[in-house]
Chains A and B, each alone.
Chain A
Amino acid sequence: MSHSVLRETFFVIFAFLAIFGAFLTVSRRNPMYSAVSLILFFGAVSGVMMILSAPFLALMQLMVYAGAILVLFLFVIMLLALREEELGEERPWPLQLLTGIGCAVLFGLLAAAILRAPSAPAPAVGGDFGSPAEVGRSMFAEWVLPFEIVSVLILAATMGSVVLAKKHLDRPEPAEEPADTHGPGGGH
């Protein structure tokens, strides 16, 4: 089997795995199973990126999405530890069907636009296309400003999640409370 046939075959396999994983993610009742399906999806997308000559992004996809974001989801799912009866009710099926039809129409519109676009053959690229060194060079030579702005965004998100995760927003943490020498628990 030639190299390009192998490439095409794997593209088809990964594409179907990704679609399968995405469908499972939105259709499972238990969030735990959605998370499991999402692993499949992220892995398949990583494979698609590898085939599209973006090895660095493919591994970042695994590292960031599967290795960090999904672990965070998993952590929260396990922390909540919802039992079957605590999962809450779903929307009524006619509404779900209607949403499904709407999303199918959305996909149809996008597909119609995509299919009208001209199809270009993929240009040949060198072995260092999308390699860590090249992406890094481009990032810090041409795209410094967006990079810096994203760092501000991440700082804001970090502080936001810390504030949100605190137990009592209106009261300071017990350790920071001024010593109350009169209260029952305040004796030092």
Chain B
Amino acid sequence: MLTLQNCLLLSALVFATGVFGVIARRNALIVLMSVELMLNAVNIAFVAFARFYPGTSQSVAGHLEPAKAPAGHIFVLLTMAVAAAEAAVGLAIVLAWFRNRKTTDTEEMRNLRW
């Protein structure tokens, strides 16, 4: 049911799935998608912790009050920005690679230059 532990278990399972995708697959596109899975697993954990332990924040008046937007929420937004940057650069690399070698196989990516 809706407990912190279940949310974290969901996050861990998705993370493990992502790790499997990165290691076991050879298609570069699917590897990149698995990285997105792992980043999302982290997001789930952040949001769950933010919900169950919101922490405090300084109000406008200066005293501490329960946070309405915990740090976890901000971190998820930052993760999203990093994920977007990672996807853009990763896909650009895959495209450049495909243009030169006509393959998306990660096993073929052995050379830094040729």
The reply to whether A150 and B30 contact each other, CB–CB distance below 8 Å, is: no
The reply to whether B66 and A123 contact each other, CB–CB distance below 8 Å, is: yes
The reply to whether B104 and A82 contact each other, CB–CB distance below 8 Å, is: yes
- 1/0 per residue, CB under 8 A from B, across A68-81: the answer is 11001100110110
The reply to whether B21 and A26 contact each other, CB–CB distance below 8 Å, is: yes
- From residue 9 to 67 of chain A, which have CB atoms closer than 8 A to chain B? 11-12, 15, 18-19, 22-23, 25-26, 28, 31, 34-35, 38, 41-42, 45, 48-49, 51-54, 56-57, 60-61, 64-65
The reply to whether B91 and A76 contact each other, CB–CB distance below 8 Å, is: yes
Q: Determine whether A188 belongs to the interface, using a CB cutoff of 8 Å to chain B.
A: no
- Give the distance in Å from the alpha carbon of A122 to the alpha carbon of B20 in the complex: 32
The reply to whether A146 and B2 contact each other, CB–CB distance below 8 Å, is: no
Question: SS class of chain B's interface: helix, strand, loop or mixed?
Answer: helix
Residues from chain B with Cβ under 8 Å of A61 in the complex: 43, 80
The reply to whether B16 and A110 contact each other, CB–CB distance below 8 Å, is: yes
- Give the distance in Å from the alpha carbon of A80 to the alpha carbon of B29 in the complex: 11
- Give the distance in Å from the alpha carbon of A142 to the alpha carbon of B57 in the complex: 9
The reply to whether A52 and B47 contact each other, CB–CB distance below 8 Å, is: yes
- 1/0 per residue, CB under 8 A from A, across B64-75: the answer is 001111110110
In the complex, residue of chain A having the shortest beta-carbon distance to the beta carbon of B94: A76
The reply to whether A120 and B47 contact each other, CB–CB distance below 8 Å, is: no
User: Number of contacting residues on B, CB 8 A?
Assistant: 76
The reply to whether B104 and A80 contact each other, CB–CB distance below 8 Å, is: yes
The reply to whether B89 and A125 contact each other, CB–CB distance below 8 Å, is: no
In the complex, residue of chain A having the shortest beta-carbon distance to the beta carbon of B102: A86
The reply to whether A114 and B9 contact each other, CB–CB distance below 8 Å, is: yes
In the complex, residue of chain B having the shortest beta-carbon distance to the beta carbon of A42: B40
- Give the distance in Å from the alpha carbon of A156 to the alpha carbon of B81 in the complex: 12
Give the distance to chain B from A25, nearest Cβ to Cβ, in Å.
6
Give the distance to chain B from A186, nearest Cβ to Cβ, in Å.
27
The reply to whether A91 and B26 contact each other, CB–CB distance below 8 Å, is: yes
Q: Determine whether A139 belongs to the interface, using a CB cutoff of 8 Å to chain B.
A: yes
Residues from chain B with Cβ under 8 Å of A79 in the complex: 95
Residues from chain B with Cβ under 8 Å of A12 in the complex: 1
The reply to whether A129 and B68 contact each other, CB–CB distance below 8 Å, is: yes
The reply to whether B47 and A73 contact each other, CB–CB distance below 8 Å, is: no
Residues from chain B with Cβ under 8 Å of A26 in the complex: 17-18, 20-21, 24-25, 30, 33-34, 37
Residues from chain B with Cβ under 8 Å of A135 in the complex: 69, 73-74, 77
In the complex, residue of chain A having the shortest beta-carbon distance to the beta carbon of B108: A88
Q: Can you give 18 contacting A-B residue pairs, CB < 8 Å?
A: A26-B20, A31-B33, A41-B14, A52-B7, A65-B40, A72-B87, A88-B105, A90-B25, A99-B20, A99-B23, A103-B17, A117-B4, A123-B66, A126-B68, A138-B57, A139-B74, A154-B85, A160-B92
